[in-house]
């Protein structure tokens, strides 16, 4: 029987999304309204901090930018960023007048290696950005100890990790500040937006003043954003995906093309800031976030159960390493990454999975130390380069149990043949 293909991405969607949007349109509160403050307060409460310490922004990256601006570090201060992250983050640090220095990551956890962090600190280093990449918290005890020794400000990148904990404490509450993303595929989907979580009240006020100084977006723009979100939702439904995007991936698998690169934002300098970054977070998106917070724990638990199922099916395969979650942390599996064969052998396995209807991703964030954009900051980062060889298996919350069994089954069969695999033929 012909089976629908399974997309690499699954957005977390509220069953009443359209009703929430329609209700705010009717009330005239699509852009401005009381849900923004209510969402900030609920978000802060979840993190165990008082209202006023969470500030909504147009993007997660802009929350980071406002935090940097509010910190007002001396120009030319050095900020340490993991070599493996979304390129926009170091670029915005550069735009803020800071000198970006990269530290390598541990390829087993995909997060910043504390030894590598310590090794790049100089007398000009003022800040570090531990990125809880793919949903796994960094080694926060060691990072906080290093930061305390060298008097560094810690800004946690929690874009992938809302809901994750380290020693029982939520990410984003360890450093001076943290920031979160509400982009469509992130743990909390508000069709865009972000949040800064700031420990010190005066610093939080400065971040708020910066965010509030931006203009409100117009209704047309927010309506378009919801429309695009709806299209994305439709296009990743298994059968729609099977007859729309999947054929492109399937054909690419025969021609050695890599269409993934077209999914991502153009890599470029962000000075001046792109116009779409400069706006306030609208009320209807806050209303969606406020409602989605009620579902977050259930979505996280489902994703974790899917990850556990896949791990149980793959862990005994020779040459395959399933994701390691240290016992003091919880992982929310924004991405589920498996290490196995690398280079052309890895690509060949991915192609085999795609041909059997399972869309496996290999490119999600960037090895920034290889990007021309970062000029002199580029240097070898073997951990990040290895980490980028992992295969990312879909485990998102929206998959049914049967789909997870199929994903695990196909990936297991394909990976079991890794030893015997030459060029892709099946």
Q: Which residues of the chain form contacts with ligand PLP (CB under 6 A)?
A: 59-61, 85-86, 89, 131, 157, 159-160, 181, 183, 194, 365
Contact at 8 Å (CB) between 236 and 45?
no
d(CA 53, CA 154): 16
Nearer to ligand PLP (CB atom), residue 29 or residue 85: 85
Nearest distance from residue 123's CB to ligand PLP, in Å? 28
User: CA-CA-CA-CA torsion for 9, 12, 16, 18, nearest 10 degrees?
Assistant: -40
Nearer to ligand PLP (CB atom), residue 20 or residue 155: 155
Nearest distance from residue 371's CB to ligand PLP, in Å? 15
Nearer to ligand PLP (CB atom), residue 191 or residue 299: 191
Nearer to ligand PLP (CB atom), residue 39 or residue 59: 59
Nearer to ligand PLP (CB atom), residue 17 or residue 181: 181
Nearer to ligand PLP (CB atom), residue 85 or residue 348: 85
**Structure tokens given for 248:** 């492109």
Nearest distance from residue 66's CB to ligand PLP, in Å? 12
CA distances from 51 to 3, 197, 205, 211, 272 (A): 48, 10, 12, 16, 32
Nearest distance from residue 31's CB to ligand PLP, in Å? 19
Nearest distance from residue 157's CB to ligand PLP, in Å? 5
Nearer to ligand PLP (CB atom), residue 9 or residue 250: 9
d(CA 196, CA 204): 8
Nearer to ligand PLP (CB atom), residue 132 or residue 313: 132
Lookup result for tokens 């600190």: 121
Nearest distance from residue 385's CB to ligand PLP, in Å? 17
Which residues have a Cβ under 8 Å from the Cβ of 132 and sit 6 or more positions away? 111, 138, 156, 157, 158, 160, 161, 164, 171
Nearer to ligand PLP (CB atom), residue 21 or residue 112: 112
Which residues have a Cβ under 8 Å from the Cβ of 215 and sit 6 or more positions away? 278, 279, 280
Lookup result for tokens 């997060």: 111
Q: Which of 64, 65, 109, 110 is nearest to 364 (CA)?
A: 110
Nearer to ligand PLP (CB atom), residue 193 or residue 357: 193
Contact at 8 Å (CB) between 210 and 57?
no
d(CA 398, CA 7): 11
Nearest distance from residue 96's CB to ligand PLP, in Å? 15
Nearest distance from residue 271's CB to ligand PLP, in Å? 16
Nearest distance from residue 348's CB to ligand PLP, in Å? 27
Nearest distance from residue 133's CB to ligand PLP, in Å? 6
Nearer to ligand PLP (CB atom), residue 86 or residue 299: 86
Nearest distance from residue 265's CB to ligand PLP, in Å? 8
């Amino acid at each position: 029987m012909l089976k629908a293909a399974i997309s690499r991405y699954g957005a977390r969607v509220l069953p009443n999304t359209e009703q929430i949007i329609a209700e705010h349109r009717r009330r005239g509160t699509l852009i401005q309204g009381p849900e923004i403050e209510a969402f900030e307060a609920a978000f802060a409460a979840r993190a165990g901090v008082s209202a006023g310490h969470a500030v909504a922004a147009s993007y997660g990256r802009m929350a980071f930018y406002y935090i940097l601006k509010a910190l007002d570090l001396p120009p030319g201060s050095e900020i340490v960023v993991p070599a493996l992250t979304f390129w926009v983050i170091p670029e915005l640090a550069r735009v803020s007048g800071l000198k970006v220095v990269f530290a390598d990551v541990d390829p087993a956890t995909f997060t910043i290696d504390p030894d590598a962090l310590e090794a790049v600190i100089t007398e000009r280093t003022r800040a570090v950005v531990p990125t809880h990449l793919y949903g796994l918290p960094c080694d926060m005890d060691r990072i906080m100890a290093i930061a305390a020794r060298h008097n560094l400000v810690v800004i946690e990148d929690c874009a992938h990790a809302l809901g994750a904990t380290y020693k029982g404490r939520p990410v984003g509450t360890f450093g001076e500040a943290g920031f979160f993303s509400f982009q469509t595929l992130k743990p909390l989907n508000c069709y865009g937006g972000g949040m800064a979580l700031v420990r010190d009240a005066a610093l939080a006020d400065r971040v708020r003043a910066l965010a509030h100084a931006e203009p409100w977006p117009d209704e047309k723009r927010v309506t378009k954003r919801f429309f695009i979100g709806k299209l994305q939702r439709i296009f990743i439904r298994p059968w729609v995906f099977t007859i729309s995007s999947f054929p492109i991936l399937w054909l690419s698998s025969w021609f050695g093309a890599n269409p993934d690169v077209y999914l991502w934002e153009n890599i470029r300098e962000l000075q001046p800031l792109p116009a779409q970054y400069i706006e306030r977070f609208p009320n209807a998106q806050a209303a969606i976030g406020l409602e989605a917070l009620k579902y977050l724990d259930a979505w996280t638990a489902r994703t974790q159960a899917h990850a556990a199922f896949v791990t149980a099916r793959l862990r005994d395969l020779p040459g395959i390493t399933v994701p390691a979650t240290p016992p003091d942390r919880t992982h929310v599996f924004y991405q589920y990454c498996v290490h196995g064969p690398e280079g052309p052998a890895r690509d060949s396995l991915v192609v085999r999975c795609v041909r059997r209807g399972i869309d496996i991703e290999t490119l999600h964030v960037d090895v920034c130390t290889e990007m021309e954009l970062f000029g002199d900051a580029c240097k070898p980062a073997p951990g990040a380069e290895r980490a980028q060889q992992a295969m990312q298996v879909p485990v998102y919350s929206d998959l049914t149990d049967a789909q997870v069994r199929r994903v695990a089954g196909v990936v297991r069969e394909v990976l079991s043949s890794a030893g015997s695999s030459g060029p892709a033929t099946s």
